[in-house]
Amino acid sequence: MARRFEEETRHKDDPDVEVVLLTATSRDALTRTHARYFKTVPELAAALAAALPIVPKNGARRTKAKVGMRRQKG
């Protein structure tokens, strides 16, 4: 913990550095629970894309069917 506080003080003005202390029973457990610290941005993006619902490639939106009365001729 003392080392963590030292590092936090050293990097306090650097928005690109996040100092964390992670504990787990194994490195595999850490990579499962805290993947963002171990994966590259493309790997994280691929994992996110796989977790999201499918979006149509053309960006088409669903439209509601028009409901109304037909005019009678006459």
Reported as a single tens digit per residue, the pLDDT across 8-28 is 999 999 999 999 888 899 999
CB atoms within 10 A of CB 11: 13
- Residue 63 is predicted with a pLDDT of 53
CA-CA distance, 39 to 41, in Å (whole number)? 7
Q: Select the more confidently predicted residue: 61 or 24.
A: 24
Q: Which residues contact 4 (CB under 8 A, 6 or more apart)?
A: 19, 20, 21
43 pLDDT above the threshold of 60: yes
- Residue 72 is predicted with a pLDDT of 56
What mean pLDDT comes out for the span 18-44? Answer: 90
Residues in the chain: 74
- Residue 52 is predicted with a pLDDT of 85
Q: Torsion angle of alpha carbons 19, 22, 27, 32, nearest 10°?
A: -90
